[in-house]
Amino acid sequence: MKLTISSRKFILPLLFAFLALTSGIAAQTGPRVGEKLTYSIQVGPFIGAGYAETQVMSQGRLSGKDAIEIHAKVKTLEFVSAAYFMIDQTRTIYVAPDTGLPLYVSKVSSAGATPTETIVNNLSTPTESFDIFSLLYAARGGDGNGTYSLFENGKTFEVRLRQAGGEHLHTDAGEFDTKISVVESDYLASIGCKDLRIHFSNDAARIPVAIVFQSSKGVVRVLLNGVVSPAADVVPSFATPTPTPTPKPTPRPASAPYVENQPLSSELGFKLGESLDYRISAGGKPLAVLNFQAVARKLYNREDSLQLVAKIASAEPNNGLFRAGDYASVQVDPDTLAPTWSETKFDSTLAGLHQALTFDKVTGNVKVGNSAAIEAPVGTHSILSLIYAMRSFNLQPSKTPGNPVNDTRVAVFWDAKPYIFILRPSNPETILMNGVKVQAQLVSVTTGNPQLDALSPKVWLGLDEARTPLRFSLGTLQADLITRSS
């Protein structure tokens, strides 16, 4: 999968390092059962690229030892940029309240086809080094200063934290005065990161308000957007009875009026208002004309949204498959093209595909109509949003024949469940369109759905800056671009 290995190499450890910070360790007290912190993730220009959350779940004894149970979760969207990676991982961590060292850690990754779990068990043989989580617990308790021993990836590293001034920050959770801690370690260099800075709230709670670092794929920012404080009567046995205060957000000034139909990012490859017409045929026999259009950028459910529509503009009589007016419509994030709502309506023999979908951008869950939510990866696409999003993917063919290292995997909801679509790019080739030879790149699609895969879905993308889809094929059906306007 494109950039997965190299991206996870630095993203996963640091995001979970961040989660360790957020797990409720205050400067003077231990984790507070019930505290929950949520964060949004920004990578380069992509705001809302994912989310992170932690919650201090319980206190008790684990194999006869006092322990604190902490749950953490990170999910990211699939980006429309060259810096593509997908993360879907949870951790359950039990830490010792007296030493701060990890007792037991369970890591579950759900980014692949099947979940994988990794266990680290220090119950029988106590460790003398911190892992990322417990190290950052100690760092928060140490007021953001100190030198620590870290054991990660089979090696021991020295990690140094030092305070370096302060900054007033504004996030979705409010406004905070923060102290900045700079993190220095050979460990960061080993995972391709530098300039790691953590902004702690400048009060007794020492809540991490932001973590910022530079990666080879751009600046990564993780920003606080929600705080749930523990109940006042929930006091861990290792903590003082007085609850640690939580920073209170200050009122935010009124935002500027929303402006409709603002220009789209140049990285998306298409402009607002673009219209593409395709002639659909089977075995050379015309069946219908299909129109794609980036219709409008307006508020949808009080959020900035882009509407994309595919519609059968005209259909040949008795073609047996399409009817004029059949359409698919999707509301997407204008930056990432991740969908929030979609609808397909077919009055012809494809009526079985008629459905309305609601996508939860935080959990990833998808609802079909009013049915119960179906679990799916964050950033799961519809077919229509994928067609537009793939124009921004860095689809470079593999340089090694027989080793498709540049395959790109994308979560897509089809019919009643999410599938992982695999996009395999080929080298540019010459195709004949409307009697004219043009250069295009073939992208073969494997869906994981036996019925779809039997039809061998393919897309040919133009080599122009817009990466316009020139041709689609699905079984005997073929759609060729005939007109384009913007």
Tell which wins on pLDDT, 81 or 420.
420
Q: What is the spatial distance between Cα 333 and Cα 38, in angstroms, rounded to a whole number?
A: 20
Q: What is the spatial distance between Cα 391 and Cα 332, in angstroms, rounded to a whole number?
A: 15
Tokens of 270: 């298409």
Catalogue the long-range contacts made by 126-132 (C-beta closer than 8 Å, 24 or more residues apart).
126/101, 127/101, 127/102, 127/151, 128/101, 129/156, 130/100, 130/101, 130/102, 131/102, 131/105, 132/13, 132/16, 132/17, 132/20
What's the confidence (pLDDT) of residue 175? 87
What's the confidence (pLDDT) of residue 30? 52
Given pLDDT bands bounded at 50, 70 and 90, which one contains residue 233? Answer: very low
pLDDT tens figures, 33-86:
777 888 888 877 666 677 788 787 888 888 888 888 888 888 776 543 334 456
Strand partners, 407: none
Return the sign of the alpha-carbon dihedral for residues 405, 408, 414, 416.
positive
What's the confidence (pLDDT) of residue 113? 58
Domain residue spans of the chain = 4-228, 270-389+406-485
What's the confidence (pLDDT) of residue 234? 44
* Exposure of 185 in the CB half-sphere (CA atoms within 13 A): 27
CA trace torsion 114, 399, 428, 312 (10° rounding): 10
pLDDT tens figures, 113-167:
577 888 888 888 888 888 777 776 677 777 777 888 888 777 889 989 888 889 9
Strand partners, 420: 411
Identity of the residue numbered 310 = A
Residue 270 has pLDDT above 70, yes or no: yes
Contact 348, 321 (CB under 8 A): yes
Contact 141, 122 (CB under 8 A): no
Tell which wins on pLDDT, 409 or 21.
409
- Say which CATH topology domain 4-228 has: outer membrane lipoprotein receptor (LolB), chain A (2.50.20)
What's the confidence (pLDDT) of residue 353? 67
Given pLDDT bands bounded at 50, 70 and 90, which one contains residue 249? Answer: very low
Are β-strands 417-433 and 408-414 bridged in parallel, bridged antiparallel, or unpaired? antiparallel
Give the SS3 label for residue 192.
Answer: coil
